[in-house]
Amino acid sequence: MSPISAPTPSLTLDPHSFAQGPALAHLMLALAVDFANQTLAGSATWRLATPSAEFTELVLDTRDLVIEQVWANAAGTGPEAPHTLGTPDATLGQALRIALPAGTAAVRIAYRTSPQAAALQWLAPAQTAGRYPFLFTQSQAILARTWLPCPDSPGRRFSYEAGVEILGEERGQLLALMSAENPQATAADGHYHFRQLQPVPAYLLALAVGRLDFAPLSTRTGIYAEPATLPRATHEFGELDHMVQAAEQLYGNYRWGRYDLLVLPSSFPFGGMENPCLTFVTPNILAGDRSLTSLVAHELAHSWSGNLVTNATWNDFWLNEGFTVYFERRIMEQLYGRPYADMLQVLGEADLHHTLQELGPASAATRLHLAGRNPDDGLNDIAYEKGCLLLLTLEHLVGRPRLDAFITEYFARFAFQSMDTDRFASYLTQALLTPAEAAHLNLPAWLDGPGLPPGAPTATSARLAGVDAVLARLATGTPPAELHYITKEWSSQEWEHFLRGLPPTLPAEAVARLDAAFHFTASGNAELLAAWFPLALRAGYAPADAALENFLRHVGRRKLLVPLYRALLGTPGGRARAQRIYQLARPNYHSVATGTLDALLAGG
């Protein structure tokens, strides 16, 4: 047998992509945004890194796309290039195989999206804070292929430019934005042009169109939001430039030009998404007191961990998220001090222990095994918090100066490249650890072992210990009102710890007393509400019902919704009630959320 030579030797095999063939260097996208028909239509033109000689075929990922015409040139002229669409797979979609004549330099594909495209959410005016329709994309993990034919694997990068034209009468009111250099004002003719000159993987392609205004925060940071939301958002994120400065001081220059935030309508299925140059965030972190901005530090940190050095496949997701959680907490420490960062770490560890309990220790390895699964179902807290804990373990082992120098060097050296778990492990042992330190660390146990390795550090927080003291006093009968002088100083994090620390089932009278004293049901803080409602549900505390229903009908963030529907399902008569609310709320959810919730709420 002849030796098998991989087409691109540095590429880790990705179980979630059909993409094969020559490397693609640059994408030219031309799209018309049609709100009336809920479609994007136009063309994707891919420039090959070098004109093809060895490859006779290019294979791209697609899902639910209508492929109209394909050419083996950039102009879209002459005869079509022969192409076929493979058998559809519910998760992966269909391979688009395009025959390449010798010397092909570019491929152009005319196509349109389907109204069901999973990455896209088309919002009616009533689902926004204003009077105009809204569109946004969510490409991570493998949904980019539902809005353009592409090599949809995090190991494949390309620069891009895009021409976006908004159709319809309202075009002059709508602003288009991408994960790229962005306009700051609406164009009367509805035409926009974008450039992202740094090479990015497909999961970082993003587009949003809506009635949006821009407010600068500094020369390189600013906020896009619906007009009704913008003033609150500029206040909430007033420290954005300080965050960027802190991040740069920690791990090196910000490499993406501007850093702006886009505050989405509340149906956005995540807390945040690190789209390059333009992080997307949920409006429910607008708590009014800047108490939930660690989420922005997290998305900003991805500008290094994830967007510069990218997980090679979704099995290596912890290289994106574990590093980012560690980095996020270092940024927050820089801005708000160690006691604040310690709270975040303790709460994160509580999440981790909760997830470990839920999954069982056997399925709690840091490195994932997602082949044959939808990555969207397999990406959980383990990658985030166990990954972060590995970095904290390294911090304790070698000290911050050595670890920080290592991380800075890692981002610089592997910038704009992908990294898999094995390559990281060997780089770590070679560039940071002495043999004795490596032996002490036991990396295999961290990466592939169950549960937590012995010797995993445990954080403590003086501020959260203060919360524990209040919980103890309540348990021994102190009336809640007598504790106000302490609780009035509390942040979101302390309240979250408080709510998690209450006995899981309380009688309705006890829940009523807590609500009377601390006004949870009336809170405007989504994280607090999400921690409060399960207690109210388990207690059968009816005064929270209307607020819960309102929450479920307006918030689209999957991470908050899933535990609430679960809690609802666990109450007497809960299934019928959950299904009734879900039926009303479902039109407001993105496919990422309904994908999970449909399964949870199915059946009777």
Compute the distance between CA of residue 391 and CA of residue 503 in angstroms, rounded to an integer.
Answer: 32
DSSP state of 125: G
Note whether 274 binds ligand BES by CB under 6 A.
yes
Note whether 559 binds ligand BES by CB under 6 A.
yes
Partner that binds at residue 273, options ligand BES, Zn ion, none, CB closer than 5 to 8 Å by kind: ligand BES
Stretch of residues binding ligand BES (CB under 6 A), selected from 64-72, 106-114, 271-279, 331-339? 271-279
Note whether 271 binds ligand BES by CB under 6 A.
yes
Partner that binds at residue 205, options ligand BES, Zn ion, none, CB closer than 5 to 8 Å by kind: none
The minimum distance between CB 310 and Zn ion, in angstroms, equals 12
Residue pair 395/403 in contact (Cβ under 8 Å)? The answer is: yes
Task: Report the 10 Å Cβ neighbour count for 583.
Answer: 10
Note whether 327 binds ligand BES by CB under 6 A.
no
Note whether 373 binds ligand BES by CB under 6 A.
no
Unique residue bearing structure tokens 């587009």? 207
The answer for residues whose C-beta is within 8 angstroms of residue 401's C-beta and 6 or more apart is none
Token representation of residue 318: 């912890």
Identify the three-state secondary structure at position 43.
strand
The answer for residues whose C-beta is within 8 angstroms of residue 477's C-beta and 6 or more apart is none
Cα 598 vs. chain centroid, distance in angstroms?
A: 21
Note whether 273 binds ligand BES by CB under 6 A.
yes
224 vs 318, beta carbon nearer Zn ion: 318
274 vs 342, beta carbon nearer ligand BES: 274
Stretch of residues binding ligand BES (CB under 6 A), selected from 205-213, 266-274, 351-359, 498-506? 266-274
Site for ligand BES in 140-169 (CB under 6 A): 140-141
Which contiguous run of DSSP H or E holds residue 538? helix 526-539
141 vs 389, beta carbon nearer ligand BES: 141
Q: How far is CA 34 from CA 39, 120, 190, 250, in A?
A: 5, 12, 12, 43
Stretch of residues binding ligand BES (CB under 6 A), selected from 52-60, 163-171, 249-257, 295-303? 295-303
Compute the distance between CA of residue 69 and CA of residue 77 in angstroms, rounded to an integer.
Answer: 10
The minimum distance between CB 322 and ligand BES, in angstroms, equals 11
Site for ligand BES in 231-260 (CB under 6 A): none
The minimum distance between CB 44 and ligand BES, in angstroms, equals 22
Partner that binds at residue 292, options Zn ion, ligand BES, none, CB closer than 5 to 8 Å by kind: none
Partner that binds at residue 379, options ligand BES, Zn ion, none, CB closer than 5 to 8 Å by kind: ligand BES
Partner that binds at residue 297, options ligand BES, Zn ion, none, CB closer than 5 to 8 Å by kind: none
Note whether 386 binds ligand BES by CB under 6 A.
no
Compute the distance between CA of residue 550 and CA of residue 230 in angstroms, rounded to an integer.
Answer: 23
The minimum distance between CB 182 and ligand BES, in angstroms, equals 20
Partner that binds at residue 271, options Zn ion, ligand BES, none, CB closer than 5 to 8 Å by kind: ligand BES
Stretch of residues binding Zn ion (CB under 5 A), selected from 315-323, 396-404, 457-465, 584-592? 315-323
Handedness of CA 471, 477, 480, 484 (dihedral sign): negative
- Partnered with residue 281 across adjacent β-strands are 263, 272
Select from 376, 324, 317 the least CA-distant residue to 348.
324
Note whether 334 binds ligand BES by CB under 6 A.
no
Partner that binds at residue 34, options Zn ion, ligand BES, none, CB closer than 5 to 8 Å by kind: none
Select from 177, 167, 163 the least CA-distant residue to 210.
177
233 vs 273, beta carbon nearer ligand BES: 273
Unique residue bearing structure tokens 């949809």? 152
The minimum distance between CB 298 and Zn ion, in angstroms, equals 6
Known active-site residue 299: yes
Compute the distance between CA of residue 330 and CA of residue 396 in angstroms, rounded to an integer.
Answer: 14
Note whether 290 binds ligand BES by CB under 6 A.
no
Q: Which of 42, 133, 151, 272 binds ligand BES (CB under 6 A)?
A: 272
The minimum distance between CB 301 and Zn ion, in angstroms, equals 8
Compute the distance between CA of residue 386 and CA of residue 130 in angstroms, rounded to an integer.
Answer: 41
The minimum distance between CB 539 and Zn ion, in angstroms, equals 34
Strands 278-281 and 259-263: parallel
463 vs 559, beta carbon nearer ligand BES: 559
Known active-site residue 349: no
- Indicate which residue of 161, 274, 299, 494 is catalytic: 299
The minimum distance between CB 559 and Zn ion, in angstroms, equals 12
The minimum distance between CB 302 and Zn ion, in angstroms, equals 6
Cα 88 vs. chain centroid, distance in angstroms?
A: 26
- Indicate which residue of 384, 541, 565, 582 is catalytic: 384
The pattern of x and - marking residues 112 through 141 that bind ligand BES according to CB under 6 A reads ----------------------------xx
Which contiguous run of DSSP H or E holds residue 593? helix 591-601
Handedness of CA 231, 232, 238, 241 (dihedral sign): negative
177 vs 526, beta carbon nearer ligand BES: 526
Unique residue bearing structure tokens 């990281």? 424
Q: Please give the angle made by the CA atoms of 69, 73 and 76, to the nearest 5 degrees.
A: 45
Partner that binds at residue 386, options Zn ion, ligand BES, none, CB closer than 5 to 8 Å by kind: none
How many residues are recorded in the chain? 604
Residue pair 178/196 in contact (Cβ under 8 Å)? The answer is: yes
Residue pair 250/236 in contact (Cβ under 8 Å)? The answer is: no
The answer for residues whose C-beta is within 8 angstroms of residue 266's C-beta and 6 or more apart is 282, 283, 284, 554, 555, 556, 588
321 vs 349, beta carbon nearer ligand BES: 321
Nearest residue relative to ligand BES (C-beta): 271
108 vs 298, beta carbon nearer ligand BES: 298
Q: How far is CA 510 from CA 483, 485, 523, in A?
A: 16, 20, 18
Unique residue bearing structure tokens 């927080």? 461
Binding residues vs ligand BES (CB under 6 A): 140-141, 270-274, 295, 298-299, 302, 321, 379, 559
Active site residues: 299, 384
Binding residues vs Zn ion (CB under 5 A): 321, 324
